[in-house]
Structure 1
């Protein structure tokens, strides 16, 4: 079942997000298996947020553990919070 993932980092900014993204997904023409959509933007109260849609939570967790966390650690990035919810409905025109 598809999931919506909301990642928020109060101490993150655009530069740190971009550096982590570039390490985690070095070839944008070859996205990770299961990724449906990805959005990065400033957080409303500061920091940075990333919102993804994944085919399954397992695919998200695999990518997080194998790519995102190692990339963030290599950059000395602060931690971020992740929330995962099952999608009820979606519309992609």
Structure 2
């Protein structure tokens, strides 16, 4: 079952997001297994947010643990919050 993931880092910046993204997905033609869509944008009231759709929560958690968290730690990034909800409907043309 697909999930929607909303990540928000109150103290993240566009540059920090981009540096992390470049480390964890160096080749945009080869996205992580299970990723359906990815969007990064400024957060309401500051910070940075990332909104993803994943094939499963297991695929999302694996990517976070194996790729995102280690890269963020190497970059000295502050923590961020993640909210996971089940997708009811989607349209990806």
Ranges in structure 1 where 5+ consecutive residues have no aligned partner: none
Give the TM-score taking structure 1 as reference length. Answer: 0.98
Cα distance in 1 for partners of 2:70, 2:26 equals 13
Ranges in structure 2 where 5+ consecutive residues have no aligned partner: none
Which residue of the partner structure matches residue 7 of structure 1?
7
Which residue of the partner structure matches residue 77 of structure 1?
77
User: What RMSD, in angstroms, separates the aligned Cα atoms of the two structures?
Assistant: 0.5
Secondary structure, counterpart of 1:78 in structure 2: coil
Length, aligned pairs only: 93
User: How far off its partner does 1:42 sit?
Assistant: 0.2
Secondary structure, counterpart of 1:28 in structure 2: coil
Runs of 4+ in 1 over 4 A off after TM superposition: none
User: How far off its partner does 1:44 sit?
Assistant: 1.1
Give the TM-score taking structure 2 as reference length. Answer: 0.98
